[in-house]
């Protein structure tokens, strides 16, 4: 049945919160190649919030168990809070569904490997929602890196920070938290909202199309700019991969600029890669050749959904499996062990915009940009926040 191209997989959307609603929108406005079998979410007034649920007669369930008691799905797309992923992935696999789970899959290496082997045993795929790993420009670039076209990677860096304020943290109980009810969450810009371009760098440095590069060491500076957040919300980090490549990343939420970056640079033996918001992935080689892979925006954000549906039909598995997120996960844990510095409240200015309030650490943008320029942590070049 799965080889028939006219077969339309039944898709279960698990959690339609801030991010999961994008899957609902995509799967109800476009033909994604499959049909929505149901939505699982505990939120009240879902039908009011998403009129399409009634328009398309999509059944809503308060738990996975209540869905699977009545129905079946070929593909479950999980966009629940991180600490619920593991139990939900296992439940979906147990009930015969392939799984596309939003990033990060979970918070430990052991759990990642356990989930990967549960998928293998169930003969189902477990794909992750790191959208850049589905991006056609990124995939073409990685193939060229792996072929040795630019020589050995020497170092990589990226600045990516996004302003987030009161409403972002108020949307749910796990935002900005280290634990929820004793369960680890480790939420931070590095772990969650601004994770993608760090994950991208580890993916580009990975030695196969499925894997990201393992990380050996970290040095870094973490700060809490927003006093209402439990975890850190500013990070300047320099990792070294297991093969000795430095990877620098600068990310934060309490800043005046809505979006700082993404601004990426990677040096190879025989070429330099640049990428960023509104800029293509571009390699200039030392022979003067320019290779333009295109912008990441050329691939739809929801390509992951289309690819997952196609894989269900083909009996294949998306490249972005459980192991794709392991390096980012290890990096999150390595960063989490670093001390969190205090910021003088006099350096935090609160601004109001629309219905929201944002804490902004004075001068953060300049500190990040000057540090990145030197491949440094702020303190190493005499800068402080």
Ligand X SMILES: NC(=O)c1ccc[n+]([C@@H]2O[C@H](COP(=O)([O-])OP(=O)(O)OC[C@H]3O[C@@H](n4cnc5c(N)ncnc54)[C@H](O)[C@@H]3O)[C@@H](O)[C@H]2O)c1
**Binding of ligand X by 116 (CB under 6 A):** no
Choose, by CB under 6 A, the member of 24, 36, 39, 40 that binds ligand X. Answer: 40
**Binding of ligand X by 43 (CB under 6 A):** yes
Q: Which residue is nearest to ligand X (CB)?
A: 17
Return the residues of window 177-236 that contact ligand X according to CB under 6 A: 192
Residues 6+ apart with CB under 8 A from 82: 104, 106, 107, 174, 185, 187, 192
Q: Is the CB of 185 or the CB of 343 nearer to ligand X? A: 185
Structure tokens at 334: 């390595």
**Binding of ligand X by 47 (CB under 6 A):** no
**Binding of ligand X by 102 (CB under 6 A):** yes
Q: CB of 338: closest distance to ligand X in angstroms?
A: 21
Using CB under 6 A as the criterion, what x/- string covers residues 284-303 for binding ligand X?
--------------------
Distance CA 136, CA 203 (A): 14
Distance CA 350, CA 361 (A): 9
**Binding of ligand X by 378 (CB under 6 A):** no
**Binding of ligand X by 66 (CB under 6 A):** no
Q: Is the CB of 196 or the CB of 238 nearer to ligand X? A: 196
Would you say 155 and 247 are in contact if contact means Cβ atoms under 8 Å apart?
Answer: yes
Choose, by CB under 6 A, the member of 66, 172, 303, 362 that binds ligand X. Answer: 172
Q: Is the CB of 17 or the CB of 315 nearer to ligand X? A: 17
Choose, by CB under 6 A, the member of 75, 80, 248, 302 that binds ligand X. Answer: 80
Distance of CA 359 to the CA centre of its chain: 24
Distance CA 40, CA 12 (A): 8
Q: How far is the CA of 328 from the CAs of 16, 32, 112, 219, 359, in angstroms?
A: 24, 29, 12, 15, 27
Choose, by CB under 6 A, the member of 9, 11, 15, 245 that binds ligand X. Answer: 15
Q: Is the CB of 66 or the CB of 285 nearer to ligand X? A: 66
Would you say 341 and 234 are in contact if contact means Cβ atoms under 8 Å apart?
Answer: no
The single residue listed with the structure tokens 């993404």 is 262
Q: CB of 233: closest distance to ligand X in angstroms?
A: 15
**Binding of ligand X by 103 (CB under 6 A):** yes
Choose, by CB under 6 A, the member of 82, 138, 180, 367 that binds ligand X. Answer: 82
| Strand intervals (E) in the chain | 10-14, 35-40, 60-61, 75-78, 98-101, 126-128, 153-162, 179-180, 183-184, 215-224, 234-241, 246-252, 259-268, 271-276, 279-285, 290-292, 340-342, 348-353, 356-361
**Binding of ligand X by 112 (CB under 6 A):** no
Structure tokens at 6: 């006219």
Q: Is the CB of 24 or the CB of 367 nearer to ligand X? A: 24
Can you give the binding site for ligand X, defined by CB under 6 A? 15-20, 40-43, 79-82, 84, 102-103, 129, 131, 171-172, 192
């Amino acid at each position: 049945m799965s080889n028939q191209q006219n077969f339309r997989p039944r898709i279960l959307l698990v959690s339609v919160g801030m991010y999961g609603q994008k899957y609902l929108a995509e799967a109800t406005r476009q033909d994604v190649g499959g049909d929505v079998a149901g939505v699982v979410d505990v939120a009240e007034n879902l039908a009011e919030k998403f009129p399409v649920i009634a328009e398309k007669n999509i059944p809503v369930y308060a738990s996975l168990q209540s869905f699977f008691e009545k129905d079946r799905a070929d593909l479950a797309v999980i966009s629940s809070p991180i600490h619920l992923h593991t139990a939900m992935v296992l439940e979906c696999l147990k009930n015969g569904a392939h799984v596309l789970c939003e990033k990060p899959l979970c918070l430990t290496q052991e759990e990642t490997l356990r989930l990967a082997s549960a998928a293998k045993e169930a003969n189902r795929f477990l794909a992750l929602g790191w959208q850049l790993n589905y991006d056609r420009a990124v995939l073409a670039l990685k193939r060229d890196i792996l072929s040795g076209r630019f020589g050995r990677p020497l170092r990589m860096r990226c600045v990516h920070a996004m302003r987030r304020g009161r409403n972002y943290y108020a949307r749910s109980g796990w935002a900005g938290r280290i634990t929820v009810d004793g369960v680890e969450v480790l939420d931070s810009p590095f772990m969650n909202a601004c994770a993608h371009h760090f994950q991208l760098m580890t993916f580009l440095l990975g030695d196969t199309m499925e894997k990201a590069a393992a990380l050996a060491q970290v040095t870094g500076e973490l700060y809490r700019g927003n006093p209402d957040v439990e975890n850190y919300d500013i990070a300047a980090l320099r990792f070294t991969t297991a093969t000795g490549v430095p990877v620098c990343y600068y990310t934060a939420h309490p800043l005046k600029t809505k979006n700082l970056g993404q601004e990426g640079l990677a040096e190879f033996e025989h070429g330099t890669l640049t990428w960023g918001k509104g800029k293509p992935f571009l390699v200039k080689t030392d022979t003067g050749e320019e290779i333009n892979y295109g912008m990441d925006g050329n691939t739809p954000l929801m390509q992951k959904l289309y690819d997952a549906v196609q894989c269900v039909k083909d009996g294949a598995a998306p490249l972005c499996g459980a192991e794709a997120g392991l390096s980012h996960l290890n990096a999150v844990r390595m960063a989490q062990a670093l001390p969190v510095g205090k910021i003088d409240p006099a350096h935090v200015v609160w601004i109001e915009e629309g219905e929201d309030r944002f804490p902004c650490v004075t001068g953060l943008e300049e500190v990040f940009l000057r540090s990145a320029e030197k491949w440094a942590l702020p303190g190493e070049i005499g800068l402080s926040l």
